[in-house]
Amino acid sequence: MIQTELPMTVGFLLRNRAIIETKNFCVYWNYWYYVWSTMSIQFSMLTAINRYLLIFHKIFLIKYKLYCHYLPIVCIWLYLPCLHLYFIVFFPYGNTTFDFSKEWCGGPQFLLIRFYVAWDTLFDTFTPAAITVLFNLIIIIKVIFFKKLPANTITKWKKNRRMILQLTGICCSQLIGSVPYTIVTLGEVYGSSTFALDIYTQALIYTFYIPSLFSPLFAMVTLPKDIRDKVPLISRCWKNRPDTINVLQRMSVDPSTRDHPRNPTNRNRSIFSKIRSYRTAPAPFLETQT
């Protein structure tokens, strides 16, 4: 979605018009956007379910891997492309003209069918996002609960802390990307057609890019050490990061030894004070020192 569809949207935002002003391009643009935006959400749902099973029910997942992993992938690959293929590509447009000055040339014509709009919004967008958030929250709660057990060590908790950070980011991105869009879309379908129209056209139609844009960041933050060391750029950035423990140790120096002349913090402070005195000293003083 980021590599193939987002450049078309960025080109539109730069020109305020579609990058190719033809009917075929508008149909292709709409099809590519709706397929990948919904597929990304549903694959995130499948990943959340498989992650939960892998952590807490690994034997069950291995035993029924065909039904829990491979079969859902095939269903998603077949369901969404075929569904949008009919409602966008093979939809009877008739004499419909596309507006090249609007996002996605004004959108596909199935938006005029209230039932399909409600189905696509609730079951293809909101429900997968809600399931993703639910399973990730279950994992976070269980990990925090198991943290209190005596058998758990500090090393395990550090690994779990990274996983919690990743899952929290995924939950927030899914909520931001789907919940406002769902509320406004259903408000326009079953309420007023101008319900939050300005917010929808200027912001909410772009929220589907948020999970796809931030997913690589969440993955890089929580990479295991053996994988992180194999990527030169990530390894270099990780090694050059600030050492939080040393910073905290310097901040927590014993007050009784803080003013001792052999204290390295005190020596650094005196050096910095001399530098500041040279910078703020008047000209005659500087000539004298020279």
CATH code for the domain in which residue 42 is found: 1.20.1070.10
Residue 154 lies in a domain: yes
Residue 171 lies in a domain: yes
**Environment class of residue 175 by beta-carbon count within 10 Å: exposed (0-12), middle (13-18) or buried (19+)?**
middle
Q: What's the Rg (C-alpha) of the chain?
A: 28
Residue 104 lies in a domain: yes
Residue 267 lies in a domain: no
pLDDT above 90 as % of the chain = 10
Which domain does 116 fall in, by range? 1-230
Mean of pLDDT values over 121-139: 89
Residue 160 lies in a domain: yes
Residue 275 lies in a domain: no
Per residue in 60-100, pLDDT tens? 989 998 998 899 999 999 998 998 888 888 877 656 678 88
Residue 279 lies in a domain: no
**Res 112: pLDDT:** 77
Helix locations, 66-126, DSSP H: 71-84, 114-121
Q: Is the pLDDT of residue 177 over 60?
A: yes
C-alpha to C-alpha distance for 23 and 102, rounded to whole angstroms: 13
C-alpha to C-alpha distance for 243 and 216, rounded to whole angstroms: 24
Residue 257 lies in a domain: no
**Res 165: pLDDT:** 81
Domains: count for the chain: 1
**Res 245: pLDDT:** 47
Per residue in 197-254, pLDDT tens? 677 777 778 888 888 888 888 877 767 666 667 766 655 665 665 554 454 455 555 4
